[in-house]
Structure 1
Amino acid sequence: MLPFILSVVVGSIVGLSAILIKTLISYIELYVVYFSPKAFFFLFPLVGFLVVTFLNQHVFKKISSFQGTRNVVDAIENKASIINFRLMYSKFVTTGLTIGFGGSSGVEAAIITSGSAIGSNVGQLLGLGYRLRTLLIGCGIAAGISAVYNAPMGGFIFALETVLPEFTPTLLIPLLISAATGKILFEFIMGNHLRFDAPITDFTYDQLPLVIMLGILTMIGARYLARTYDVCRQFFTRIKNVYLRALAGGLALGCVIFFLPAMYGEGYSSIDALLEGSEKSLLFRSPLAQIPFSTWFSLFFFFLLTLVKPLSTGICVNSGGEGGYFAPSIITGGFLGFLFYKIMSQLVPGADLSAVTYIFLGMAGMFACVMNAPVTAIFLIAEITQSYQLFIPLMVVCAVSYLLKYYSENLSFKIDQASDMRKSFRIDRIILNQINVKQLIEKDFPVIPVGASFRELLEVYGNSNRNMIQVIGENKLLVGLINVSEIRKIMPVAANYDAILVKDIMEVPPASVQTDEPPAQIMAKFDQLNVRYLPVFKKGRLKGFISRNRMLLQYREELTRANRFI
Structure 2
Amino acid sequence: CAVTVILFVSIFYFLRSRFFRAMSLKPHYKPAIGGLLVGIIAVFFPQVLGSGYGWIQIAMNGDIVQMSVILMMALVLLKILATSFTIGSGGSGGVFAPSLFIGAMVGGAFGQILTFVFPEIVTQPGGYVLVGMGAMLAGAAKVPIAAIVMVSEMAGNYNLLAPLMVASTFSYLLSGRWSIYEKQVENRASSPAHRREMTVDILERAEVKDAMTTKLIVARPGDSLEKALKTLLDRNIGRPPVVDDSDPTKLLGLVTKLDIMKAHARLSAER
Match of 1:367 among 122, 127, 137: 137
- Written as runs of structure 1 = structure 2, the 5 A alignment for 1:365-514 is 365-406=135-176, 425-426=190-191, 429-431=195-197, 458=230, 461=233, 465-466=237-238
When residues 347 and 281 of structure 1 are mapped into structure 2, their CA distance, relative to the original with a 3 A threshold, is closer
- 1:351 and 2:132 equivalent? no
- Written as runs of structure 1 = structure 2, the 5 A alignment for 1:201-216 is none
- Written as runs of structure 1 = structure 2, the 5 A alignment for 1:70-469 is 218-234=1-17, 235-240=19-24, 241-278=26-63, 280-281=65-66, 298-406=68-176, 425-426=190-191, 429-431=195-197, 458=230, 461=233, 465-466=237-238
Report the TM-score, using the length of structure 1 for normalisation. Answer: 0.33
Tell me the percent identity. 27
For 2:175, the aligned partner's letter is K
Structure 1 residues 210-253: Cα deviation after superposition (integer angstroms, max 9, x where no partner)? xxxxxxxx111111111111122121111242133122111100
Distance 2:186 2:79 in 1: 32
Structure 1 residues 162-195: Cα deviation after superposition (integer angstroms, max 9, x where no partner)? xxxxxxxxxxxxxxxxxxxxxxxxxxxxxxxxxx
- 3-state SS of 1:265 partner: coil
Q: Which moved more, 1:302-311 or 1:344-353?
A: 344-353
Structure 1 residues 3-56: Cα deviation after superposition (integer angstroms, max 9, x where no partner)? xxxxxxxxxxxxxxxxxxxxxxxxxxxxxxxxxxxxxxxxxxxxxxxxxxxxxx
Structure 1 unmatched runs, 5+: 1-217, 283-297, 411-417, 436-454, 468-566
- 3-state SS of 1:388 partner: coil
Distance 1:403 1:257 in 2: 34
Q: CA deviation at 1:335?
A: 0.5
When residues 238 and 389 of structure 1 are mapped into structure 2, their CA distance, relative to the original with a 3 A threshold, is same
What is the aligned-residue RMSD (CA, Å)? Answer: 3.3
When residues 261 and 373 of structure 1 are mapped into structure 2, their CA distance, relative to the original with a 3 A threshold, is same
Q: CA deviation at 1:426?
A: 3.3
Contact 2:232 2:238 in 1 (8 A): no
When residues 432 and 458 of structure 1 are mapped into structure 2, their CA distance, relative to the original with a 3 A threshold, is farther
Distance 1:424 1:354 in 2: 41
- 3-state SS of 1:249 partner: helix
For 2:4, the aligned partner's letter is G
- Matched residue pairs, number? 206
Structure with the higher helix share, 1 or 2: 1
Contact 1:273 1:279 in 2 (8 A): no
When residues 423 and 345 of structure 1 are mapped into structure 2, their CA distance, relative to the original with a 3 A threshold, is same
Distance 2:143 2:119 in 1: 34
Distance 1:239 1:433 in 2: 44
Q: CA deviation at 1:401?
A: 1.7
Contact 2:33 2:89 in 1 (8 A): yes
Which residue does 2:218 correspond to in 1?
none
Q: CA deviation at 1:324?
A: 2.3
Which residue does 2:254 correspond to in 1?
none
When residues 432 and 330 of structure 1 are mapped into structure 2, their CA distance, relative to the original with a 3 A threshold, is closer
Distance 2:40 2:11 in 1: 18
Contact 1:341 1:353 in 2 (8 A): no
Q: CA deviation at 1:432?
A: 9.1
Larger radius of gyration: 2
Distance 1:225 1:421 in 2: 19
Contact 2:13 2:88 in 1 (8 A): no
When residues 350 and 254 of structure 1 are mapped into structure 2, their CA distance, relative to the original with a 3 A threshold, is same
Contact 1:228 1:311 in 2 (8 A): yes
Distance 1:373 1:425 in 2: 16
Distance 2:57 2:41 in 1: 21
Distance 2:89 2:74 in 1: 22
When residues 432 and 341 of structure 1 are mapped into structure 2, their CA distance, relative to the original with a 3 A threshold, is closer
Report the TM-score, using the length of structure 2 for normalisation. Answer: 0.66
For 1:430, the aligned partner's letter is R
Contact 1:232 1:315 in 2 (8 A): yes
When residues 422 and 383 of structure 1 are mapped into structure 2, their CA distance, relative to the original with a 3 A threshold, is closer
Distance 1:349 1:419 in 2: 42
When residues 397 and 419 of structure 1 are mapped into structure 2, their CA distance, relative to the original with a 3 A threshold, is closer
